[in-house]
Amino acid sequence: SEVDTILAKRMEGKSLTAEEIEAYKTFVLTALARAYAKHDIAMQLHFAAIRDNNAKMFAKLGPDTGYDASHDTNLAEKLSAFLNNLSVTGEVPKTILYTLNPKDYYSLATLMGCYQDGRPGKMQLGSAWWFADHKDGMEEQMKALGNIGLLSRFVGMLTDSRSFLSYPRHEYFRRILCNIWGTWVEEGEVPADMQLLGRFVSDISFGNAKAYFEG
């Protein structure tokens, strides 16, 4: 097969073309997605990071030392083709789509709506991430999801498992979440039903994620 040829070529120490690299990555990602769908495992895809931008500092300090940035790549067309290919065989797994560039929120939120397959919350717009997980960034992500999808099904904040000290971000997120709902109540956009709102906040803070990842 094409992928076998690509792998054999690289194992021989030969350089691959950009097209060959993309073909191989697509094959691996597709195979993983089908396995996730089979076993009801969540697939999480992260977009729009451009890494190691400062060659001088990379040579001095190595990777992951503070020289990454937000990318402005156009991702909708290729992501659509990828998900559509899985959809043809009924193998789109539950998926969380994260972007490091807020310009992508509406593309991702509308695209994921094409593949919910009658399962509310199956496709998720991931929480504000990395450079965007501050007050304005979290509000922007949740408002985009609220405008396009179902905020009540949102699985909430992610945790950077490499940094134990990052865990307080969950309390920060929950305060921002409550402030958003409170503002909407004050402005008459949602009912002042504390029982209903309490359930939404509880679900977004914990319940939705528990149900989503436990299947």
The alpha-helical segments, DSSP class H, found in the chain are: 2-11, 18-39, 55-61, 76-88, 105-112, 135-148, 169-186, 194-202, 208-214
- Model's pTM, two decimal places? 0.93
Model pLDDT for residues 61-86, shown as the tens digit of each residue: 999 899 999 999 899 999 999 999 99
DSSP, collapsed to helix, strand or coil, labels residue 44 as strand
Q: How do strand 69-70 and strand 49-50 relate by DSSP bridges?
A: antiparallel
Question: What's the pLDDT at 1?
Answer: 86
Model pLDDT for residues 167-211, shown as the tens digit of each residue: 888 999 999 999 999 999 999 999 999 999 999 999 999 999 999
Mean pLDDT of 122-139: 95
Tell me which of 3.90.226.10, 2.40.37.10, 3.20.20.140, 1.10.357.10 is the CATH number of domain 40-214: 3.20.20.140
Domain residue limits, the chain: 1-39, 40-214
